Amino acid sequence: MISKTSCLILCLAAYACVTWQVAAAEPSYTRLDLPDLQKPAQIRVDRWGVAHIYASSDDDVFFVQGFNVARDRLFQLDLLHRKGLGRLAAVFGPSYVEQDRASRLFLFRGDMRQEWNSYGKAAQRNVARFVAGINAYIAWVERNPQALPYEFRTLGYQPDAWLPEDVVRIRTTGLGRNVKSEVARAKVACKASLGVDAVRLKLQPAWTTALPDGLDPCLPDDVLKVYELATQSPRLAPGTTLAQTPAALLTSGEEALAEGSNNWVIAPDKSATGHAVLADDPHRAYTVPSLRYFVHLNSPGMNIIGAGEPAAPGVAIGHNTHSAFGLTIFNIDQEDLYVYRLNPRDPSQYWYNGAWVSMTTQREQIAVRGGQTQPVTLQFTRHGPVIYSDASTHRAYAVRSVWSQPGTSPYMGSLRYQSAASYPQFKRALAHWGAPSVNQLYAGTQGTIGWVTAGMTPRRAQWDGLLPVPGDGRYEWKGFLSSDALPSAHNAAQGFITTSNEMNLPSGYPAAERKIGFEWANGARHARITQVLSRLSKVTIEDSQALQNDQVSLPAQRLVALLAPLQSQDAATVAALALLKQWDGTVAATSPAAALEEVWFSRYLGDAYKSLVLTPAQASTFGAPDTDVLLEALEHPGSAFGPNPSAARDQLLLHSLQAAYRALAQLQGEDSSQWQWGTLHRNAITHPLSAAAGADRALLDIGPFAKGGSPYTPNQSSYDAKDFRQTIGPSARLIIDLGNWDNSRAVNYPGQSGDPNSPHYRDLAPMWLNGQYFPLLYTRAAVDAATEQVFELVPVPHNGKPPIHR
């Protein structure tokens, strides 16, 4: 196999390039002649795979950013592009027609002028230059076929060129939420009651919901099939693009909220450096390559470094010369499922405001590799795309989402704030942020720290957004809240601000009036981070590193406290109690106690609690109970436990613990001293092409690695209890020192490059696994000293050929 670096030394007629190698200790140099580049530019790749881009204008810096990310991530870009636009079947065959149709339903179809204006005056130009850079690399590869990445050669197709509008029209890469929870809640209400649903997910602030007038909560089992297809990543093997089965929706409410993050910002007075420090670690589903890409952008008016979405220009998490910024998800409810009564005589009409209204219908053609072009019909109501329609029951279902509004292309709002020089500028920029909804933290070189929540927030006058609603006109969004209606704060008295997707609406906030959202991630990560930072009089950079890798579970500590007074005559239970009573709640990969507690908690304790307080029919309507609901019930047992609540609670704990101990002995042997949580809990990333790669799977896949942590540790490690495999966690970490930019540090798992033959494809995996970081270098001298590869980019006249759009 020929690596891209090797291919770049080949000379081409259209893109003449010259490469020379200097002394071994010096970086390699490659010259590339590029049409569309205005003036000479340079990419300096450091030894950790981070590209530092130096250009003479913003136009060129965004052009080179696009060229560079295509150099490292071309297959990832193409897969995002084809998936988002609904063009998978054109290269992968007829199995993908259904997913293509689903993706097309959720494309932005509104006013493009409003869309571009939402991101600032220069946004359209910046995106156009970014896309021109991507297309320049695609054109270079066409003229240098040996450089075509492994995946394209294996699958036998060429990457497609981009249009600028493609970047902003694709919405399904954003982290929307609530529609799946609405459906899960409706199914519990259908088969049990909304009171039972309060065991599935705790609403915060305290809230009691009710069925909207006119709603039948008994929905079709596959009502979300199209939505799932639109929002899930493609799996490149025949017959594997089916959406999740209905059973997969019977998950815990917390699992649906697992994709989040941690961030904190330390004020100068509390920082050991005497300057502000900002830390951020986005928690996402693990992919190879990562969903984040680190890059450094330099022009006369720009000097920005950090992590962003590979398919978008700019940087979303990072810093400029004055400010640092980092985000987590702030759980605004930005979606609703609408239920329609259809006209029995014409199923393309729905009842709205006392009359039959026709759906908007669009007919499109989907190209299919190895087959005939397939016609598809897309239908839309006034609220959004129709995801399910049943003429026999005269019902249809559509999703209303902020995705259909101008200005909600995921993370594109970063173009407004990435150059902010002060907290007021930063806050003003975020007034235009659309999606996903976020907690943004800010730190400035002058010492200001701040928290700003941002995201397009629907006004729901007479309902709370927690259940589907009839689409007959009674449940309409009344516009959107202004940015001033969302919470913010700066220069906190405690010397730090931290968020972890928890319910963080301030005391006294009018939550019942504004109905921002009532579904939040478990607060354990936030509580642990707050606990650690509060105990430190001065916070060092190393403290932030340790905290990002912290594996202490406060819920586990609460469980252990419940066991303290308990005794048993059963040998297995006695051994289990002895193991856990001496444990401090650190969910380390090597810990026997952590293995027992996680097996107990994830497989046995929740089911035992449900069996005690619910009927079998009620218990079958959802998966694990809400962690806080469970722990609060165990700590303060009430009448649901029977006439002697404390005794019943104790028996529940002992019996479920006994079952877990015996099960773990079956899994790891009778000698509990040899048990290890990491033997069960593994991190392994499967490449999208893995199932079709045959003998090359080892080249593509990452891991498996023994992993510590749990969903409730700052070093989050969510997993599927069926096999304990890690599903979500910190894919990247970043710590920014505002007193010494070169002392900032980061890691991106498993590496910066998406090329399996690149040394930067998996080189950061050991670093990430061991809680280590590389320096995120910023000054030119530091960058030059760490450079291993230089690309000299030279402008040449355009050959007049347009980019190829297949």
pLDDT digits (tens, 9 = 90+) for 771-796: 999 999 999 999 999 999 999 999 99
Mean pLDDT of the chain, nearest integer: 93
Query: In terms of C-beta density within 10 A (0-12 exposed, 13-18 middle, 19 or more buried), how is residue 585 classed?
Result: buried
CB 663 within 8 A of CB 599: yes
For residue 492, give the 3-state DSSP assignment.
Answer: coil
Q: Is the pLDDT of residue 686 over 80?
A: yes
Where residue 797 falls among pLDDT bands split at 50, 70, 90? confident
Instruction: Compute the distance between CA of residue 780 and CA of residue 776 in angstroms, rounded to an integer.
Output: 12
The pLDDT assigned to 20 comes to: 26
Instruction: Compute the distance between CA of residue 227 and CA of residue 100 in angstroms, rounded to an integer.
Output: 12
The pLDDT assigned to 175 comes to: 65
Where residue 242 falls among pLDDT bands split at 50, 70, 90? very low
State the chain's maximal CA–CA distance in angstroms: 87
pLDDT digit string, tens, across residues 446-475: 999 999 999 999 999 999 999 999 999 999
For residue 759, give the 3-state DSSP assignment.
Answer: coil
DSSP secondary structure of 143-196: H-GGGS-HHHHHHT--PPPP-HHHHHH--TTS---SHHHHHHHHHHHHHS-HHH
The pLDDT assigned to 25 comes to: 61
The pLDDT assigned to 261 comes to: 95
pLDDT digit string, tens, across residues 271-324: 999 999 999 999 999 999 999 999 999 999 999 999 999 999 999 999 999 999
pLDDT digit string, tens, across residues 379-427: 999 999 999 999 999 999 999 999 999 999 999 999 999 999 999 999 9
CB 700 within 8 A of CB 288: yes
Residue where the block lists tokens 């909207």: 212
The pLDDT assigned to 227 comes to: 96
Q: Nearest 5°: CA angle at 152, between 310 and 694?
A: 110
Q: 482 catalytic, yes or no?
A: no
Peptide bond into 704 cis (omega under 30): yes
Q: Alpha helix (H) ranges present in 587-746?
A: 592-599, 606-613, 616-619, 627-635, 645-668, 677-680, 697-700
CB 30 within 8 A of CB 40: no
Where residue 23 falls among pLDDT bands split at 50, 70, 90? very low
pLDDT digit string, tens, across residues 626-648: 999 999 999 999 999 999 999 99
| Domain made up of 4-173+784-795: CATH architecture | Orthogonal Bundle (1.10)
Q: Which residue type occupies 266?
A: I
Q: What does the domain layout of the chain look like in residue ranges?
A: 4-173+784-795, 179-254+334-404, 554-586+592-675
The pLDDT assigned to 234 comes to: 82
Where residue 245 falls among pLDDT bands split at 50, 70, 90? very low
Q: Is the pLDDT of residue 3 over 50?
A: no
Give how far the C-alpha of residue 239 lies from the chain's centroid of Cα atoms, to the nearest Å. Answer: 26
Average confidence (pLDDT) over 490-501 = 98
Instruction: Compute the distance between CA of residue 340 and CA of residue 349 in angstroms, rounded to an integer.
Output: 9
Name 800's Cβ contacts closer than 8 Å, sequence gap at least 6. Answer: none
Distances 499 to 163, 525, 587, 682 between C-alpha atoms, Å: 36, 9, 21, 27
pLDDT digit string, tens, across residues 725-768: 999 999 999 999 999 999 999 999 999 999 999 999 999 999 99
Residue where the block lists tokens 């990247």: 732
Instruction: Compute the distance between CA of residue 87 and CA of residue 103 in angstroms, rounded to an integer.
Output: 9
The pLDDT assigned to 177 comes to: 75
Q: What CATH superfamily classification does 554-586+592-675 receive?
A: Aminohydrolase, alpha-helical knob region (1.10.1400.10)
As a whole-number percent, the residues of the chain with pLDDT over 70 amount to 93
CB 756 within 8 A of CB 13: no
pLDDT digit string, tens, across residues 217-231: 999 999 999 999 999
Q: What is the 3-state secondary structure (H, E, C) of 185-238?
A: HHHHHHHCCHHHHHHHCCCCCCCCCCCCCCCCCCCCCCCCHHHHHHHCCCCCCC
As a whole-number percent, the residues of the chain with pLDDT over 90 amount to 90
Does 72 carry a binding-site annotation?
Answer: no
For residue 495, give the 3-state DSSP assignment.
Answer: coil
What does DSSP say about strands 477-480 and 438-444: parallel, antiparallel, or unpaired? unpaired
Predicted TM-score of the model (pTM): 0.94
Name 223's Cβ contacts closer than 8 Å, sequence gap at least 6. Answer: 183, 337, 387, 388, 397
Catalytic residue among 95, 181, 252, 261: 261
- Among 6-10, 47-51, 73-77, 149-153, the minimum mean pLDDT is found in 6-10
pLDDT digit string, tens, across residues 358-379: 999 999 999 999 999 999 999 9
The pLDDT assigned to 85 comes to: 98
Does 784 carry a binding-site annotation?
Answer: no
Does 160 carry a binding-site annotation?
Answer: no
Q: Is the pLDDT of residue 9 over 90?
A: no
Q: Which of 107, 81, 152, 93 is nearest to 805 (CA)?
A: 81
The pLDDT assigned to 257 comes to: 53
Instruction: Compute the distance between CA of residue 189 and CA of residue 551 in angstroms, rounded to an integer.
Output: 36
DSSP secondary structure of 395-437: EEEEEEEGGGSTT-STTTTHHHHTT--SHHHHHHHHTT--SS-
What's the helix, strand, coil split of the chain in %, to 5? 35, 20, 45
Q: Which of 211, 191, 235 is nearest to 96 (CA)?
A: 235
Q: Which residue type occupies 580?
A: L
Name 23's Cβ contacts closer than 8 Å, sequence gap at least 6. Answer: none
**What's phi and psi for 490, nearest 5 deg?**
-150, 155
Q: Alpha helix (H) ranges present in 692-798?
A: 697-700, 765-769, 780-786
Run of H or E including 58: helix 58-85
Fold classification of 179-254+334-404 is: Penicillin G acylase, beta-roll domain (2.30.120)
Instruction: Compute the distance between CA of residue 677 and CA of residue 719 in angstroms, rounded to an integer.
Output: 12
